Structure 1
Amino acid sequence: MNHRNLHVLLLRWASLEKVKQIHGHAITVGLHNHQHLACKILNIYAKLGRPLEAHNVFNQIRNPDIVSWTCLISLYLHTQRPRKAFSIFSELILTGLKPDGFSIVSALSACGHNKDASGGKIVHGMIFRFELGSDPIMGNALIDMYSRNGEIQLAILVFREMENKDVASWTSLLNGFIMCNDLESARHVFERMPQRNPISWTAMITGYVRGHTPIRALELFQRMKLEGNDPPTAITIVTVLSGSADVGALDLGRSIHGYVTKTNLNMDVTVNNALVDMYSKSGSLDMAIKIFDEILEKDVFSWTSMISGYALHGKGSHALEVFYEMLKSGMAPNEVTFVSVLSACGHAGFVIEGQRLFNRMIQCYNYRPKIEHYGCMVDLLGRAGLLEEAKELIEQMGIRPDVVIWRSLLSACLVHRNLMLAEMAGNKIIELEPDDDGVYVLLWNIYCSANRWEHALKTRKLMRDRGVKKKPGCSWVEVNGVVHEFLAEDTMHQVRTEIYLVLEGITEHSKLDFDLS
């Protein structure tokens, strides 16, 4: 059997056992020294998530060329090990081989994901040292690397010096500003783009969703459908559905669902998962259940979305039923699944079941609890009034508690009127986020309710001395498919006069009802 036949078999039978069989045959007949075939075996091991076997294949290659080295670097990038990827690149340089564009781009990607600006600058210098030219792909990789390291000015400089800018170059800079949380500059780049593709539209929409400005994301999506030469992709749809869910825009979500059905995107399991999430968060649990039931091949995210939907609606028993149905189907839960099911136990007050599942996650699935899991457990214990147990769990976590953990404990303390613990949790939040206006207000209310006026005044003074101002409350309402945003004491809405007249009428009716009662 020659190396071409082995190559065909590798493409057909990309399972671990089959690849091991073919790998063994290649070694027997001496084909493991054929670099092209070895690289194919290496890549398939990488796709199967077997980096150790892949690296062993590389070690069997005599005098590996630049392609083989690049395959190995890419392996560690794809398995989320950028530090190791850059270490392999460093070994490549020490061999004396000249890196090519592919290995340079891989190294830049490793430096970006590993937040290694100094290493990235060294690789940048190699582009000039080895005279690798001005390929836009390398320029785009440099922009991405500098952006991920927070060096946006260097990213801009690279962009300006690029002789040949393509749509990917503009999108890389756009993403750079989004990564640096500068949405206005990102939008400026977006509007100046000579041409846009679905990736650039989706990047800007995603920036708005992640930047907690979902209304702008939804507006841009509507514009994309009107102006874009290419239709929205499944990724775009998922992002927009996420934005719709954030503001509870049910009518808009339904219209997106209609678009999905019309364009046959409802065959995509990721889109269906996003629909389940959107309907759940928009108050239409029945529709979420219907879509979930219609998904023929459910993945772990399908099950997790449904569990989360039941949890959100306070239906802890139903969430647990779906969780155990998932286990019966043979689908293994991931870490996000456990966050959802633990949250469901918290909302339903299932303390013992929640503790049992938390231990099962560690002992049976070998997941090390993350801050989100501890947050669910603190919430679970806090809601049940087990405040000392919640405090002990925080102290024994082994990782530093974040603001969410302390807020969860603070909320429970307010409900169960534990002033001492509430004060401790509030002060911890102020230490971590001194600009969080909400915690000052909560502490003020706690002290006032306990008649501790001196502490209340100190809290107000501390807030004033640090220049912390209470942010106005914000809410959204959807009317005829249009999402309206309102801030506390808002006077900017285009129909504000009519709105305030209606509010005054409601207030007068409320007073009348009170007087008659």
Structure 2
Amino acid sequence: MIVSTGLNPDGHCIVAALSACGSAKNLVVGKIVHGMVLRYELGGEEPIVSNALIDLYCRNGQIGLARRVFESMVAKDVASWTSLLNGHIICGDIVSAGQVFDEMPVRNVISWTAMIVGYVRSKNVIHGLKLFREMRSDYIHPTSITIVAVLSGCADVGALDFGGSLHGYINKISNLITDVSVNNALIDMYCKGGNLELATRVFMKMHKKDVFSWTSMISGLALHGKGRSTLKVFNDMVSSGMTPNDITFLSVLSACGHGGLIKEGMSLFTKMVDDYGLKPTMKHYGCMVDLVCRAGDLKEALRLIDMMPFEPDAVIWRSVLSGCMMKRDVGLAEIVAKKIVELEPYDDGVYILVWNLYRLTNKWEDALKTRKVMRSQKIKKQPGCSWIEINGVVHEFTAETTIHYDFMHTILQVLGEQQTV
């Protein structure tokens, strides 16, 4: 518009245009604006325009172009480095993001937070928690975004001691203790860590609750099989005037399944569609199939699958297979197992379930054939991954990890002390 009037665009107009292109992920127009930057020599010594270009290319997954702009800059500020850092995180390259972070001459709370969030979202939680310790050692005060990311990481690996000490810090900061997103993250952490009492305490103290607050509490109760309590909180949510979303229904339906609340689950599934106008996703149907399979009603499970508007995934078929195990229905189990193998040919779980079913029904020849198939296709049980928190430090290990004797001795000693407390 400005160019068509004969006026030359200034840096502020260019930044606004690049920001709009980045938000809309419109790389074509963004490159045209980049051409204008070069034509009118708007890069200059001020990094604001180049930073906007880096952000544009990063948002569109063009990390190579973003780095080219970065390396051509005469002057780089902390925003330049942070934009490039974010770009690598967006593209899923957490290693390169870490390298950029290490090379940064100056860091602010935004760059620290970006790196911590990147680690947590990429499941490198231990690195994220270590980095948070370093951040606090540098006397950088975390924002609510930082806190939520760290609490989320603690929830993922069960680091309740770490999260609990962070909760103590939160209680001292007025703007954090009243922050809804922070409290939601606390509820989620305590629920996933098995401390429903503390989760409930945080929930009850909240003066303001959003849909995520209610859903976090409902999800936590559902996770621990508290079917009746989950329904009560759900009803309280509706009574408060808050409208449940699809995730809320997913949690409460799951609770009904684990609690054997068949009628309640069926009723809620109907309300979800008729009263709230929500379209059931694959996961909602999965909850319903799991619900009826746990009750042993395989016929209803197959009826639900037939009425689904999409093809069932392996998760749904696994629920049916588990139902077959319970009912000792070998014929249906064989059909379902084939469907799972078609979807996920290297799933070790389906072979193990079928082998167990053959064993329970004394079909030893079929059980032996299943084992031979697993060996011929080199299918073996995947090792589990676990975390243990010792003195506020989280350690990760798998079933195949070789642990130094002294470290193993420390783990056993701490576990022994915890049992005697």
The verdict on a shared fold, with TM-score over 0.5 as the criterion, is yes
Partners of 1:422 and 1:144 in 2: CA distance: 52
Tell whether the 8 Å contact from 2:22 to 2:57 is kept in structure 1 after alignment.
Answer: no
The amino acid that maps onto 1:458 is V
Q: Match of 1:164? A: 75
Moved more, 438-447 or 175-184: 438-447
Q: Deviations over 1:381-424 (max 9, x none)?
A: 33222334334433433245445444444444444444455555
Q: Which residue of 2 aligns with 1:3?
A: none
Aligned to 2:156: 246
- Which amino acid in the other structure matches residue 360 of structure 1? K
Superposed counterparts of 1:378-457, under 5 Å: 378-433=289-344, 438-439=349-350, 442=353, 450-451=363-364, 452=366, 453-457=368-372
Shift of 1:232: 0.8
How many angstroms does 1:258 deviate by? 0.3
- The residue identity in structure 1 corresponding to 2:308 is M
**Structure-1-length-normalised TM-score:** 0.69
Q: In the alignment, which residue of structure 1 is the partner of 2:238?
A: 327
Structure 2 contact 22–60 (Cα < 8 Å) conserved = no
Q: What are the ranges of 5 or more consecutive residues in structure 2 without an aligned counterpart?
A: 417-421
Tell me the distance in 2 between the aligned counterparts of 1:435 and 1:164: 52
Q: Cα offset for 1:226?
A: 0.8
| Residues 314 and 344 in structure 1, CA contact (< 8 A), matched pair in contact too | yes
Deviations 1:333-381 (A, max 9, x none): 1222112211211211212221221221222222222333233223223
Classify 1:501/1:238 alpha carbon distance in 2 versus 1 (closer, same or farther; 3 Å): closer
The separation in 1 between residues aligned to 2:187 and 2:407, in whole angstroms, is: 35
Comparing 185-194 and 210-219, the one that deviates more: 210-219
Q: Higher relative CO (CA 8 A, sep ≥ 6), structure 1 or 2?
A: 2
User: Matched residues, percent identical?
Assistant: 56
CA distance in 2, matches of 1:430, 1:173: 42
Residues 107 and 123 of structure 1 are in contact (CA less than 8 Å); yes or no, is this contact kept in structure 2?
A: no
Structure-2 separation of matches of 1:424 and 1:480: 50
Return the alpha-carbon distance in structure 1 between the equivalents of residues 382 and 200 of structure 2. 37
1:372 equivalent in structure 2 = 283
2:105 aligned to which of 189, 194, 199: 194
- Residue 138 of structure 1: how far off its partner (Å): 4.6
Answer yes or no: is the 8 Å Cα contact 1:443–1:459 preserved in 2: no
Q: Compute the displacement of 1:289 (Å).
A: 1.0
Amino acid at match of 1:152: I
TM-score norm. by structure 2 comes to 0.83
Q: Secondary structure at the match of 1:324?
A: helix
What are the equivalent positions in structure 2 for 1:37-48 lying under 5 Å apart?
none
2:21 counterpart of 1:107: yes
Deviation at 1:198, TM superposition (A): 1.9
Deviates more, 1:197-206 or 1:414-423: 414-423
Q: Which residue of 1 aligns with 2:419?
A: none
Are positions 1:350 and 2:298 aligned together? no
Give the counterpart letter for 1:250 in structure 2. L
Note closer, same or farther for the CA distance 1:282–1:182 as it changes in structure 2 (3 Å cut). same
SS for the counterpart of 1:477 is strand
Deviation at 1:482, TM superposition (A): 2.5
Query: SS at 2:135's partner residue?
Result: helix
Aligned residue runs from structure 1 range 215-226, under 5 A: 215-226=126-137
Partner of 1:133: 43
Query: For the structure 1 residues 314 and 470, does the alpha-carbon distance in structure 2 shift closer, same or farther, using more than 3 Å as the test?
Result: closer
Query: In structure 2, what residue type is equivalent to 1:104?
Result: L
- In structure 2, the CA distance between the partners of 1:435 and 1:294, relative to structure 1 (3 Å rule), is same
The number of residues matched between the two structures is 404
Deviations 1:61-88 (A, max 9, x none): xxxx77xxxxxxxxxxxxxxxxxxxxxx
Q: In the aligned structure 1, how far is the partner of 2:319 from the partner of 2:7?
A: 55
Q: Does the CA contact (< 8 Å) of 1:440 and 1:460 recur in 2? A: no
Change (3 A) 1:158 1:408: farther
Cα contact 2:54–2:70 (8 A) shared by 1: yes
Task: Give the Cα separation in 2 of the matches to 1:361 and 1:96.
Answer: 57
1:381, 1:389 within 8 Å by CA — same for their partners in 2? Answer: yes
The answer on 1:235 being equivalent to 2:145 is yes
Deviations 1:26-45 (A, max 9, x none): xxxxxxxxxxxxxxxxxxxx
Residue 278 of structure 1: aligned partner: 189
Corresponding position: 1:473 with 2:388: no
Corresponding residue of 1:206: 117
Residue-by-residue CA offset, 1:102-136 (whole Å, 9 max, x unaligned): 1232012211xxxx655654554454456553664
Asked if the contact 1:447–1:456 (Cα under 8 Å) also holds between the matched residues in 2, the reply is no
User: By how many angstroms is 1:201 displaced?
Assistant: 1.7
- Mapped partners of 1:430, 1:145: distance in 2: 42
Which amino acid letter does the alignment assign opposite residue 100 of structure 2? V
Question: 1:252, CA displacement in angstroms?
Answer: 1.4
Q: Does the 8 Å CA contact 1:409/1:425 hold for their aligned counterparts?
A: yes
Q: Which moved more, 1:322-331 or 1:376-385?
A: 376-385
Is it true that 1:183 corresponds to 2:94 in the alignment? yes
- Counterpart secondary structure, 1:495: helix
Residue of structure 2 in register with 1:90 after alignment: none
Write the letter of the residue equivalent to 2:96.
Answer: S
Q: Are 2:181 and 1:267 aligned?
A: no
Query: Structure 1 counterpart of 2:223, which letter?
Result: L
**In 2, distance between residues paired with 1:147 and 1:401?**
36
1:307, 1:319 within 8 Å by CA — same for their partners in 2? yes
Distance 2:347 2:266 in 1: 31
One-letter code aligned to 2:252: V
Alignment-derived partner of residue 55 in structure 1: none
Letter in 2 for 1:479: I
Alpha-carbon spacing, 1:400–1:224, altered in 2? closer, same or farther (3 Å): farther
- Give the AA of the match of 2:217: M
Residues 163 and 315 of structure 1, relative CA distance in 2, 3 Å threshold: same
Larger gyration radius, structure 1 or structure 2: 1
- Listed one character per residue, the Cα deviations across residues 438-479 of structure 1 (whole Å, up to 9, x for unaligned) are 5565556566664323343234323x3xxx765422112223
Distance 1:270 1:501, change over 3 A: closer
Alpha-carbon contact 2:43-2:50 (below 8 Å) kept:
no
Q: Which moved more, 1:116-125 or 1:282-291?
A: 116-125
CA distance in 1, matches of 2:156, 2:187: 13
Q: Is the CA contact (8 Å cut-off) linking 2:54 and 2:66 kept in structure 1?
A: yes
